[in-house]
Amino acid sequence: MAEERIRTYVRGLDEQLQGGIPAGHVVLLAGKPGTMKSSLAFNMLYHNAKNDGRGGVYVTLEQSRESLLANMGGLGMDPTGLEKKLSVLDLSLIRKKLKQLSNKSWIEVFKMYIDNLDKTVDIGVLVIDSLPVLEVMGKFEDPRDELFRLFEWLRDLGITSVLIAEMEQDSDKFGAYGEDFLSDGILHLDLRREDRNVNLYLSVVKMRKTAHGRGYFPLIYDEGGFELVVH
């Protein structure tokens, strides 16, 4: 039986992934500031909702909902008319709920929100922006153990999850607590200075259940969307 795959809607990348990310995977989308991580993740949600009718939720823990949607609209991804399939959950909503449920931890309230949304949106793809902020907000006493539990909870939901990982400028690590080992896949975005330009590159570092290369390929964005230049 063929593996169900969720398209990234990045031309050239889905072909590298044998059609897309295996359904139910927990994937890190890692890169340093300015590598269009949020845009690439929203692109996946937007086109899955628009073209495939697949429900998606974008959890923003730093940027406001209004700012995110304005930025995505500027890239040609206006979610108007997709409200039943695409939701953006702002951190402020979770904070408000946390005050009402003072006996609950932040991560418990977060999970409750996702569980409730899954009943109405039928989530196929979940984006968390970003994982390092989630770790700080969760105040994990044992980060490795609690992250393991978080990843297993996501897998048990049967949701394909994209966790944005902000890499430090002077580091090549994808996470501080073994997130790279816990994840089913890693997509790495990188910036390279070439002549007078700074160009964006993408590599599939890891993707379980998938035969893929490990080359770095230029990633471009134009009116037609994202494209991985593999030739």
Cα–Cα distance, 186 to 163 (Å, whole number): 10
Q: Average pLDDT for residues 103-109, to the nearest whole number?
A: 81
Check residue 120 and give its pLDDT.
Answer: 86
pLDDT value of residue 98: 66
221 falls in which pLDDT band (50, 70, 90)?
very high
Question: Which residue segment(s) compose the domain that 212 sits in?
Answer: 5-228
* pLDDT level of residue 117 (50, 70, 90 thresholds): confident
Report the percent of the chain where pLDDT is more than 70: 96
* Percentage above 90 pLDDT, the chain: 69
For the chain, give the secondary structure using H, E and C.
Answer: CCCCEECCCCECHHHHCCCCEECCCEEEEEECCCCCHHHHHHHHHHHHHHHHCCEEEEEECCCCHHHHHHHHHHCCCCCCCCCCCEEEEEHHHHHHHHHHCCCCCHHHHHHHHHHHHHHHHCEEEEEEECHHHHHHHHCCCCHHHHHHHHHHHHHHHCCEEEEEEECCCCCCCCCCCCHHHHCCEEEEEEEEEECCEEEEEEEEEEECCCCCCCCCEEEEEECCEEEECCC
pLDDT above 70: residue 101: no
Could you report the per-residue pLDDT of 13-59, keeping only the tens digit for each? 999 999 999 999 999 999 999 999 999 999 999 999 999 999 999 99
Report the chain's mean pLDDT, rounded to a whole number: 92
Least confident of 105-109, 143-147, 181-185: 105-109
| pLDDT on residue 84 | 93
Count the domains in the chain. 1
Backbone angles phi, psi at 91, to 5 degrees: -55, -35
Q: Is the pLDDT of residue 137 over 90?
A: no
CATH label of the domain that carries residue 49: 3.40.50.300
Instruction: Report pLDDT for 130.
Output: 92
With 80 as the cut, is the pLDDT of residue 205 above it?
yes
Q: Give 88's pLDDT tier (boundaries 50, 70, 90).
A: very high
pLDDT of 230 over the 80 cut = yes
Tell me the whole-structure pTM to 2 decimals.
0.94
Question: Looking at residues 134-148, what average pLDDT do you find?
Answer: 90
